[in-house]
Structure 1
Amino acid sequence: MVTLIAGVPTSAPALSTRPAHAANQVKSMIKPRADVTIICDKALGIPHVYGTTRSGTEFGAGYAVAQDRLWLMDLFRHLGRGQLSGSRAVAARCRTRW
């Protein structure tokens, strides 16, 4: 699950594009681009994507999903090539995920 918060006009003071997480609840915080902030919470590991522009928010969502699913893409790459047993990292991930 990815939470998206797109930029809002400055005339709407009730909404903010800045992250409002307490420091003790944050697992990680990254800025892949200047207009995007991705905060991963400690409780569930869910990435929250904050962007000042729509394109920035969409980029951040794609970045967060790619981080989450890289192991799956690698698994399918090895599976398609018939090299699943040769990759220790992929085999170890399969044992822990399934």
Structure 2
Amino acid sequence: MQKQPAVYILASARHGTLYIGVTSDLLGRVHQHRESLIKGFSSRYGVSRLVYYECFDDMISAITREKQLTKWRRDWKLNLIEASNPGWDDLAEGLGLGPAIPKR
């Protein structure tokens, strides 16, 4: 996948803990979350399954969307995920990464 700005949502499990982020390298960033290379929220709560993402032409649009999604109510976020990914599949697998391994 070519680098381009994206907003993404990671989940610990179906209807589990959610994390919303923005990046210019989606696969690289998901890999960082999965390997806990950057300590923080996602490594603390085992949030590593890519369940939603949107790509943008520029980083300003991606950041604007990330801020919008972050302010949304939880049920709106769940509906957004389920509208395009009703099985809460790990979308990173379809982009070239292996399956997320849940952290214990």
TM-score over 0.5 for the alignment?
no
TM-score range normalised by the length of the shorter chain: under 0.3
- TM-score (normalised: structure 1): 0.18
- TM-score (normalised: structure 2): 0.18
Task: Name the structure, 1 or 2, with higher relative contact order (CA <8 Å, separation 6+).
Answer: 2
